[in-house]
Amino acid sequence: MTAGSPQREGAEAFTAPELVNQRRYEALRAYYVDGLSYVQAGERFGYTRWAMVDLVRQHKAGKLELFAAAKKPGPPPGTAPAKYRARGRAVELRRQGLSTYEISARLAAEGTPLNRTSVAEILAEEGFGRLVRGPQPEESISPATPGRDTGLPRAQVPGFAAWPARLESTRAGLLLVLPDLVALDLPALAASAGYPGTRVIPAVSWLLSLLALKLTRTRRVSHVDDLLADPAAGLLAGMAVLPKKSALTDYSYRLSHDHQHKFLAALDTNMIGAGLASADQAVFDLDFHAVMHWGHDPALEKHYVPTRSQRARSVLTFFAQDSGTHNLVYASADISKATQNREAIAFCDHWKQVSGHDPKMLVMDQKVTTHDVLGELDGRGVKFLTLRMRSAALMRHINSLAPADFKAITLDRPGPHNRPRVHEDKAVTLTGYPGSARQLVVTGLGRDEPTVIITNDQDATIRNLVSQYARRMTIEQRLAEVIRSFCADALSSTVNLNVDLDVMLCVLAQALLAALRARLPGYASVTPDTIQRRFLETPGQIITSGDVITIRLERRAYSPVLRKAGLPDTPVPWLGGRTVRYEIT
């Protein structure tokens, strides 16, 4: 609008706004944009001079909210429209004697789907207690959820005389791990570890029931209900049906760290024999992983959680990876801040028990242990390769180096950062470390700051040392694969010893999939979740005839790979010695 032109109809909404925030905005705009004084802007919009001064002061301090913040799509935070819509119907169905499973299924059939967790929350808010099942058969065969857990048989070793001749399974591919389970001699591993059994279920079946959760990417023990109706998971464990969540949880609380420690020692011995771990090279990558606890348990210590970039209440776990095969060989969760620095020593003791000698070299991050423990490793004759913290004095030393003090090396790896430059100090002193160590200052690895490597290996070439530490990054990749594939980020318990069982099962599951991967042509370097998705989740039929159990897998895109795998006919001890045979359609 040009100067002097008459105002258009409706201009009073801007010259005399009724809303408080709009009036404040127009007053501030007149002061800042139109250049009016405090008095002039105040007279135009009904403010005194001091009211305008205070308005400008609040705006400069960021204390004024003139516009409502943009809202995210969806319902406002703290509201649950789906729960609100289904609340009345959920209460009505509970009064009919239906469980949370049945109510959830009934709501889905009626077009108002609600998961069983939300149903349970509604019932708890309305004052309903847990539903106690009586002996009446109609309470276990409600048409709302045919085949749900209350209608399943008790967990027990099956009588194969009454076993159905043919069963359909959505996870028949899960039984592909049976030959390698037998090759690792799982019954002997369980016996050497001293795992307890019960009158109905032997120790091997308990372990395999928990292992089935890992192999099927079932996030928590409480989600075992998703596997109860599938015969493949039960057959893997040598049972008609897996134990329920309460039984599995109760069993896990009977175990101790000694059970897991003995099992891993026996497992590593068999892994060496099967070529899944190398005894001669004996170079291992070490790292911690904090499993975050989603609650407020004061008994748990706070550890740094990388995914959250902060310290949070969590259970600290420790893993060791064979550098030659990239397979995990050790895990522990019985760790506190007071003992975490000595986990490297605990692993050396473990490996000496397994192989008869200490590891040749440990490759680790700077936060895995202390200089005192590095001195202890040196005294045992164990080589180490780790990083050094960049202190102010060290940075002054690095900044004083001239370009001529560095020499270029070539690394055997793809990418743009395969020609770093290295400066070597033959003997540096470290606080708390007896004697001197070898130090390498490396630039050109794609980082802004130099990487400072320290080692007690005086004989290895610079190229080999830098390459060895660069390969250490594979343990971080391997841990990420384990976390994703076996749900290692889902805290099974706030009790460290229970998580100890959880991470031991991750090591066993990873070893099994590594063995299966070695049978599959072209799959030598794929991740565990790829094996799970393409092969273990293959549907099929389980056909029992006499002493032979045939696993007939349905045709899928990756069936030609399975045909070339040469899966052997395998007698399985925990299936009564029956032979498992595979047919790939």
Identify the DSSP state of 441: E
How large a percentage of the chain has pLDDT more than 90? 34
How large a percentage of the chain has pLDDT more than 70? 88
Split at pLDDT 50, 70, 90, the class of 98 is: confident
Indicate the length of the chain as a whole number: 585
pLDDT value at residue 78:
64
* Cα dihedral across residues 185, 187, 190, 191: positive or negative: negative
**Backbone φ and ψ of 17, nearest 5°:** -65, 145
pLDDT value at residue 152:
56
Beta-bridge partner residues of 348: none
pLDDT value at residue 161:
67
The string of DSSP codes covering 361-391 is EEEE-TTSS-HHHHHHHHHTT-EEEEE----
Mapped onto helix, strand or coil, the DSSP state of residue 274 is: coil
Mapped onto helix, strand or coil, the DSSP state of residue 331 is: strand
Query: In degrees to the nearest 10, what's the CA dihedral of 210, 212, 213, 217?
Result: 150
Place of tokens 């040392």: 465
pLDDT (mean) for 168-196: 94
The H or E element spanning position 415 is: none
User: Could you give the CA distance from residue 540 to residue 41 in angstroms, rounded to a whole number?
Assistant: 80
Split at pLDDT 50, 70, 90, the class of 165 is: confident
pLDDT value at residue 22:
85
The H or E element spanning position 9 is: none
Q: At what angle do helices 186-193 and 257-273 cross, to 10 degrees?
A: 140
pLDDT (mean) for 284-292: 88
Q: Is 302 within 8 Å of 289 (Cβ atoms)?
A: no
pLDDT value at residue 486:
85
User: Could you give the CA distance from residue 138 to residue 136 in angstroms, rounded to a whole number?
Assistant: 6
The Cβ of residue 447 has, within 10 Å, a number of other Cβ atoms equal to 10
C-alpha 171: how far from chain center: 22
User: Could you give the CA distance from residue 492 to residue 487 in angstroms, rounded to a whole number?
Assistant: 10
- pLDDT single digits (tens) 439-460: 999 988 777 788 899 999 988 9
The H or E element spanning position 566 is: none
Split at pLDDT 50, 70, 90, the class of 6 is: low
Split at pLDDT 50, 70, 90, the class of 570 is: very high
User: Could you give the CA distance from residue 446 to residue 473 in angstroms, rounded to a whole number?
Assistant: 14
Place of tokens 């009064």: 95
Model confidence at 402: pLDDT above 60:
yes
Mapped onto helix, strand or coil, the DSSP state of residue 438 is: strand
User: Could you give the CA distance from residue 151 to residue 166 in angstroms, rounded to a whole number?
Assistant: 20
- Please name the amino acid found at residue 35: G
pLDDT (mean) for 248-258: 88
Average pLDDT of the chain is 84
Exposure b/e, 43-60, CB count within 10 A at least 16 = b:
ebbebeeeebeebbeebe
Model confidence at 73: pLDDT above 80:
no
pLDDT value at residue 474:
67
User: Could you give the CA distance from residue 241 to residue 238 in angstroms, rounded to a whole number?
Assistant: 9
- pLDDT single digits (tens) 486-542: 887 766 565 655 788 889 999 999 999 999 999 999 998 899 999 999 999 999 999
β-pair type (361-364, 310-322)? unpaired
pLDDT value at residue 138:
43
pLDDT value at residue 224:
80
pLDDT value at residue 491:
64
Q: Is 362 within 8 Å of 286 (Cβ atoms)?
A: yes
pLDDT value at residue 346:
94
The string of DSSP codes covering 287-330 is EEEEEE-SS--TTSPEEEETTTTEEEEEEEEEEEEETTT--EEE
User: Could you give the CA distance from residue 504 to residue 319 in angstroms, rounded to a whole number?
Assistant: 10
Model confidence at 407: pLDDT above 70:
yes
pLDDT (mean) for 47-69: 84
pLDDT value at residue 550:
94
Model confidence at 69: pLDDT above 70:
no
What phi-psi label fits residue 23: left (phi over 0), alpha (psi between -120 and 50 degrees) or beta? alpha
Helix residue ranges, H only, 126-242: 178-183, 186-193, 203-215, 231-236
Beta-bridge partner residues of 420: none
Mapped onto helix, strand or coil, the DSSP state of residue 501 is: helix
Exposure b/e, 203-241, CB count within 10 A at least 16 = b:
bbbbbbbbbbbbbbbbeebeebbebbbbbbbbbbbbbbb
